[in-house]
Structure 1
Amino acid sequence: MLQTSPRCSLYLVTPLLSAAAANAFGEIFAEALEAAPVACALVRFVSGSEAHAAAIVAPLLRPARSADCALLIENDVRAAARLGADGVHVAGAGEDLAEAIKRLKPDRIVGAGSLSTRDEAMTAGEMGADYVMFGEPRGGAQTTGLASLVSLTERVAWWAEVFETPCVAFAQTIEAAGTLADAGADFVALGDAVWAASSPAAAVRDAQSVITRAGVGVP
């Protein structure tokens, strides 16, 4: 299970990675994890690069272990188990999620994203997902019907008030991370807001500062 803390924690989402880019990204990733506590990171593959999953994941495993950061694989149950990752992040609340839960739990984490409706999110929670994610990185746009920060914040607040299953909220910007933490997200996920920054490590520090201030009355 993804471990929650009394306050919101960071969750990083990698760019779409190929084997050719993995080593260079691994250095950036390690620096980001050293900058501030990161609870979890989701590894995403460029389409067609699944055969090179080991080469992509290997440079990320050691820094993740050193930082006590859970490393998840996107939509690839076999790779998660074979490569020693901590779990998988699955799109939707259908057969893929059911299969991931059957094969990986309770030893590994199974998260669910791309949940377009409240009913689908509730189904994922009832199925036994370790967390639900609202908002996702897809070409810089939300694809789950939560196109605005307002609608995403409303979804997060609703979930946090009603359900015990942890909630991950994907923030498009560092500033949005604070809003989502205030709304009750257990984890705030960041992608390009970190990796496209001039200093990803500094962006992670900024994000940690933002979510730490959230909800405690610090201006």
Structure 2
Amino acid sequence: MNEQSPPNRCRLVLIAPPDAEPEQFETELDAALAAGDVASLILPQYAMDEDRFQAFAERAVPTAQQRGVAVIIAGDSRVAGRVHADGIHIEAGRQELADAIVRLQGRMMVGTGGAKTRDDALDLGELRPDYLFFGRFGYDRDAEPHPRNLTLGRWWAEMIEVPCIVLGGTDVASVEAVAATGAEFVALSAAVFGGDAAKAVAEANAILDRTAPRFEE
């Protein structure tokens, strides 16, 4: 988070886009984080090799952390340790997630995703990760969130205590539909990066302030 008293409603998570150039992304990221509340930043490895991914993360992690924003590495756990990330995202299956929780939870956040059905989600949720992510990194290609992600997010938020993140669409206004599910977090990537990142974050927060349901204290 980057506020001492974060808002009591669905909050924004940013995801680095595929093929981001480190210097440009660092500039965009700093502007975005200065523009409004952001709970965390996820850095997926995508197709980058270990060295390139680490170099990318070495620029992005301190930029976010200086703004009080937690950074989650989705990829190589060795990179997460080297860049002093706040968390790691695991999508390689139940056993790897279980191993990561045993080894790392307590020292850093351990989140997961990749569930396409309720049964998949429950199977992962039994391990008590720090969050469950509904969506796929780099697949926010439509203006609106994917209907399946909204459906899973609504069901999860109503039934399970583990927080969830639901991927929004390419339109900043898509945060409203995600917040309406009761999800704790809405993730944006293409809607923020590659354009006016600061304006997008400010607009997303304004929409959430105006429309998102408030959580019970």
Shorter-chain TM-score category?
0.7 to 0.9
Return closer, same or farther for 1:26/1:185 CA change in 2, 3 Å cut-off: same
Separation in structure 2 between the aligned mates of residue 86 and residue 105 of structure 1, nearest angstrom? 11
What does residue 17 of structure 2 align with? 15
Q: 1:37 offset after TM fit, Å? A: 1.2
Number of residue-to-residue matches in the alignment = 207
Unaligned runs of 5+ in 2: 1-5
Q: Which digits, 9 at most, give the CA deviation of each residue in 1:116-148, with x for residues without a partner?
A: 111111122211210001122334459xxxx96
**Normalised by the size of structure 1, how large is the TM-score?**
0.86
Letter in 2 for 1:27: T
Q: 1:163 offset after TM fit, Å? A: 0.7
Separation in structure 1 between the aligned mates of residue 168 and residue 57 of structure 2, nearest angstrom? 24
Q: Which digits, 9 at most, give the CA deviation of each residue in 1:94-120, with x for residues without a partner?
A: 222122212211110111111111111
* Equivalent position SS for 1:12: strand
Separation in structure 2 between the aligned mates of residue 93 and residue 46 of structure 1, nearest angstrom? 17
What does residue 44 of structure 1 align with? 44
Separation in structure 2 between the aligned mates of residue 141 and residue 100 of structure 1, nearest angstrom? 30
Q: Which digits, 9 at most, give the CA deviation of each residue in 1:4-46, with x for residues without a partner?
A: 863111100001256xx21221111111111111111011234
| 1:150 maps onto 2:147 in alignment | yes
Separation in structure 2 between the aligned mates of residue 182 and residue 30 of structure 1, nearest angstrom? 28
Extract structure 1 runs of 4+ deviating beyond 6 A.
Answer: none
Separation in structure 2 between the aligned mates of residue 140 and residue 161 of structure 1, nearest angstrom? 24
Return closer, same or farther for 1:60/1:38 CA change in 2, 3 Å cut-off: same
What does residue 103 of structure 1 align with? 103
Q: 1:54 offset after TM fit, Å? A: 2.9
Letter in 1 for 2:18: L
* Equivalent position SS for 2:137: coil
User: Are the aligned partners of 2:165 and 2:187 in contact in 1 as well (CA < 8 Å)?
Assistant: yes
Letter in 1 for 2:204: A
* Equivalent position SS for 1:56: helix
Separation in structure 2 between the aligned mates of residue 150 and residue 108 of structure 1, nearest angstrom? 31
User: Are the aligned partners of 2:166 and 2:186 in contact in 1 as well (CA < 8 Å)?
Assistant: yes
* Equivalent position SS for 1:36: coil
User: Are the aligned partners of 1:135 and 1:152 in contact in 2 as well (CA < 8 Å)?
Assistant: yes
Identity %: 31
> Greater CA deviation, 32-41 or 54-63?
54-63
Separation in structure 1 between the aligned mates of residue 125 and residue 104 of structure 2, nearest angstrom? 16
What does residue 189 of structure 2 align with? 191
* Equivalent position SS for 2:38: coil
* Equivalent position SS for 2:16: strand
Q: 2:159 aligns with which of 159, 162, 172?
A: 162
* Equivalent position SS for 1:138: coil
Separation in structure 2 between the aligned mates of residue 169 and residue 75 of structure 1, nearest angstrom? 19
1:1-219 equivalence runs, <5 A? 6-17=8-19, 21-91=21-91, 93-141=93-141, 149-172=146-169, 173-197=171-195, 199-215=196-212
Separation in structure 2 between the aligned mates of residue 124 and residue 216 of structure 1, nearest angstrom? 26
User: Are the aligned partners of 1:149 and 1:176 in contact in 2 as well (CA < 8 Å)?
Assistant: no
Point out which structure has higher relative CO (alpha carbons under 8 A, 6+ apart): 2
**Normalised by the size of structure 2, how large is the TM-score?**
0.86
Point out the structure with the larger helix share: 1
